């Protein structure tokens, strides 16, 4: 019962006549209402004091908070910029009034690219930090290690990263609580084939052989197998290397084998830490394939400044050049630069930004954090994203809720990343053939 429910029902009538229980008090005292008047003053004073006390309690209470828990590799540029973009989105949303009258709070744990630490991070976010929704994430190997813990709690999860479809297989078709933003490897492969074939046709390029150098983790191996299946008309061979992200960094033997194969297209699949060393070692042995592609989740912030970058192609979801043709991307880009005083060079930055907004808008639509209502609201997502595409969720090969379906073809030119394909978003013509500068 509310605190006021136990107080006498006092009503004041026209002309100041007291009725109800006050009249009963007057009849009972037989003292012309003097005692009752005193009781009434005491009563009103008590209500006033209690009201002030309750008001002070309300003002002293912690504000309503909705917690988003992210597990990002903070030592890598992808995880660092994704986290900064998430913080930017949280700040913007809170400045606009929050969500359902509550402030958003971002709780981030560093995965360190370690599956065991990633799994422990999920356990901590759910049981200790008591987050309401899980977001973020990068690296297929880390997600794969997290999945048993995620399935244990089945918390609503909107995950930014991971391309390896073995993760999708591990999640299974019943994981209706899991929403995936990043394209799976086979979706990436399909978009990469589409883009490469369109460029080859437009520029009249002849291709018969492809060499793929890939990091020896889940991401690299599954992506390599996918590329082989996608280009059956070409001779595709590959070889693995240990990524600098996990203590490797010597690619000379792999690059030498690629040079001997003499491919028309060379693609390396690895991480940001591999980018410059691969280019330096390729130049050192004189390896200049006509089409030189890299496929990391993120590039080093200074990669474009190196003359070794000129003409290197890559598959990506976003580059700052898209802000020239997309107003949402422009807002994100300009706000990120103003907030963090650096260029967002990895697509995981706008992906993380979109991640927070998608969750916030779904909570608003649901009007609650109740699981089933939130899942339904997420299924209704139609978000014009800074990546230049409208984000909607639909089934992929296994899971029910897949977001983005592919990547774009980009190329480093004169220190900047340019869009080559889709042609309607193109900001530059394709440079062919690739050659190292002086």
Interval 283-306: pLDDT, tens: 999 999 999 999 987 788 889 999
Reduced to 3 states (helix: H, G, I; strand: E, B; else coil), residue 163 is: coil
Contacting residues for 95 by C-beta, under 8 A, at least 6 apart: none
Within 10 Å of residue 43's Cβ, how many Cβ atoms? 15
Domain encompassing residue 35: 3-60
Which two structure tokens, joined as six digits, stand for 132? Answer: 């309401």
Q: Is the pLDDT of residue 164 over 70?
A: yes
Percentage of the residues of the chain whose pLDDT score is greater than 70: 86
Which two structure tokens, joined as six digits, stand for 47? Answer: 């209500």
Residue 270 and residue 311 in one domain: yes
Identify each DSSP E strand in 111-222 by its residue range: 133-136, 157-159, 178-180, 209-215
DSSP letter at 430 equals: P
How far is it, in rounded angstroms, from Cα 306 to Cα 367?
50
Helix (H) or strand (E) holding 418: strand 416-421
Residue 293 and residue 397 in one domain: no
Q: Is the pLDDT of residue 373 over 50?
A: yes
Residue 43's pLDDT is 43
DSSP letter at 342 equals: S
Average pLDDT over residues 413-431: 93
Q: Is the pLDDT of residue 48 over 50?
A: no
Q: Is the pLDDT of residue 56 over 60?
A: no
**Average pLDDT over the chain, rounded to an integer:** 87
**Nearest alpha-carbon partner for 143 in 174, 122, 128:** 122
In degrees rounded to 5, what are phi and psi of residue 110?
-80, 125
Flag whether 94 is in a domain.
yes
**Length of the chain (residues):** 438
241 has which bridge partners?
215
Residue 297's pLDDT is 79
How far is it, in rounded angstroms, from Cα 387 to Cα 350?
6
CATH number of 414's domain: 3.40.50.2300
Residue 375 and residue 417 in one domain: no
Flag whether 434 is in a domain.
no
Residue 28's pLDDT is 40
Boundary-marking domain end, from 43, 60, 77: 60
Residue 388's pLDDT is 87
DSSP letter at 249 equals: -
Structural domain count, the chain: 3
Residue 235 and residue 312 in one domain: yes
Residue 207 and residue 136 in one domain: no
CB 366 within 8 A of CB 374: yes
How far is it, in rounded angstroms, from Cα 81 to Cα 329?
15
Residue 38 and residue 133 in one domain: no
Flag whether 433 is in a domain.
no
How far is it, in rounded angstroms, from Cα 158 to Cα 167?
14
Q: Is 114 exposed, middle or buried (0-12, 13-18, 19+ CB in 10 A)?
A: middle
Per residue in 237-252, pLDDT tens? 999 999 999 999 999 9
Q: Is the pLDDT of residue 370 over 80?
A: yes
Residue 62's pLDDT is 56
The pTM of this model reads 0.74
Residue 368 and residue 284 in one domain: no
How far is it, in rounded angstroms, from Cα 388 to Cα 407?
11
Flag whether 431 is in a domain.
no
Q: Is the pLDDT of residue 85 over 60?
A: yes
Residue 307 and residue 419 in one domain: yes
Average pLDDT over residues 108-114: 96
DSSP letter at 420 equals: E
Reduced to 3 states (helix: H, G, I; strand: E, B; else coil), residue 321 is: helix
Flag whether 344 is in a domain.
yes
Q: First-to-last CA distance in the chain?
A: 82
Which two structure tokens, joined as six digits, stand for 316? Answer: 């990506």
Strand 65-72 relative to strand 133-136, pairing: parallel
Contacting residues for 178 by C-beta, under 8 A, at least 6 apart: 150, 157, 159, 171, 399, 401
Per residue in 12-35, pLDDT tens? 333 333 333 333 333 344 444 444
**Nearest alpha-carbon partner for 67 in 153, 151, 126:** 126
Per residue in 182-228, pLDDT tens? 999 889 889 999 999 999 999 999 999 999 999 999 889 988 998 89
Q: Alpha carbon 183 to chain centroid distance?
A: 12
CB 276 within 8 A of CB 249: no
157 has which bridge partners?
134, 178
Flag whether 342 is in a domain.
yes
CB 47 within 8 A of CB 53: no
CB 256 within 8 A of CB 285: yes
Residue 285 and residue 363 in one domain: no
Average pLDDT over residues 123-150: 97
- Tell the residue number behind the tokens 């994203």, with chain if given: 385
Flag whether 438 is in a domain.
no
Q: Is the pLDDT of residue 57 over 70?
A: no
Residue 416 and residue 344 in one domain: no
How far is it, in rounded angstroms, from Cα 289 to Cα 389?
32
How far is it, in rounded angstroms, from Cα 292 to Cα 265?
6
Reduced to 3 states (helix: H, G, I; strand: E, B; else coil), residue 158 is: strand
Whether the bond between 422 and the residue before it is cis, its omega within 30 degrees of 0, is yes
Residue 337 and residue 415 in one domain: no
Residue 220 and residue 310 in one domain: yes
Reduced to 3 states (helix: H, G, I; strand: E, B; else coil), residue 162 is: coil
Flag whether 159 is in a domain.
yes
Alpha-carbon distances of 122 from 218, 329, 377, 401, rounded to whole Å: 20, 30, 23, 20
Average pLDDT over residues 336-342: 97
């Amino acid at each position: 019962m509310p605190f006021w429910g136990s107080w006498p029902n006092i009503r004041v009538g026209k002309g100041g006549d007291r009725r109800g229980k006050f009249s009963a008090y007057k009849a009972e005292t037989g003292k012309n209402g003097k005692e009752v008047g005193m009781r009434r003053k005491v009563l009103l004073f008590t209500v006033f004091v209690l009201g002030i006390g309750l008001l002070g309690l309300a003002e002293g209470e912690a504000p309503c908070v909705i917690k988003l828990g992210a597990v990002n590799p903070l030592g890598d540029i992808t995880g660092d910029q994704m986290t900064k973009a998430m913080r930017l989105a949280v700040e913007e949303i809170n400045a606009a009034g929050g969500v359902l009258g509550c402030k958003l709070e971002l709780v981030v744990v560093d995965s360190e690219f370690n599956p065991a630490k990633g799994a422990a991070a999920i356990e901590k976010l759910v049981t200790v930090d008591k987050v309401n929704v899980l977001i973020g994430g990068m690296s297929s190997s880390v997600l794969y290690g997290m999945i048993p813990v995620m399935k244990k709690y089945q918390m609503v999860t909107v995950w930014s990263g991971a391309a390896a479809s073995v993760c999708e297989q591990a999640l299974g078709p019943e994981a209706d609580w899991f929403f995936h933003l990043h394209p799976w490897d086979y979706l990436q492969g399909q978009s990469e084939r589409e883009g490469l074939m369109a460029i080859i046709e437009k520029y009249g390029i002849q291709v018969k052989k492809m060499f793929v150098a890939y990091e020896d983790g889940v991401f690299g191996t599954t992506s390599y197998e996918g590329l082989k299946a996608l280009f059956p008309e070409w001779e595709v061979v590959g070889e693995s290397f240990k990524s600098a992200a996990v203590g490797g960094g010597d690619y000379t033997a792999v690059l030498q084998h690629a040079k001997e194969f003499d491919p028309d297209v060379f693609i390396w699949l690895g991480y940001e830490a591999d980018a410059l060393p691969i280019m330096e070692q390729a130049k050192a042995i004189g390896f200049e394939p006509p089409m030189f592609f890299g496929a990391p989740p993120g590039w080093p912030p200074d990669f474009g400044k190196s003359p070794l970058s000129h003409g290197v192609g890559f598959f990506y979801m976003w580059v700052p050049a898209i802000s020239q043709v997309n107003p949402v991307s422009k807002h994100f880009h300009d706000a990120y630069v103003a907030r963090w005083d650096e260029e967002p060079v990895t697509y995981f930055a706008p992906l993380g930004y979109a991640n927070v907004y998608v969750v916030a808008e779904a909570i608003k639509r649901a009007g609650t954090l109740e699981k089933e209502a939130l899942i339904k609201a997420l299924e209704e997502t139609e978000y014009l994203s800074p990546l230049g595409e409208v984000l909607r969720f639909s089934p992929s090969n296994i899971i029910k809720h897949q977001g983005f379906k592919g990547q774009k073809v980009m190329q480093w030119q004169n220190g900047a990343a340019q869009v080559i394909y889709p042609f309607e978003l193109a900001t530059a013509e394709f440079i062919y053939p690739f050659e190292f500068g002086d």
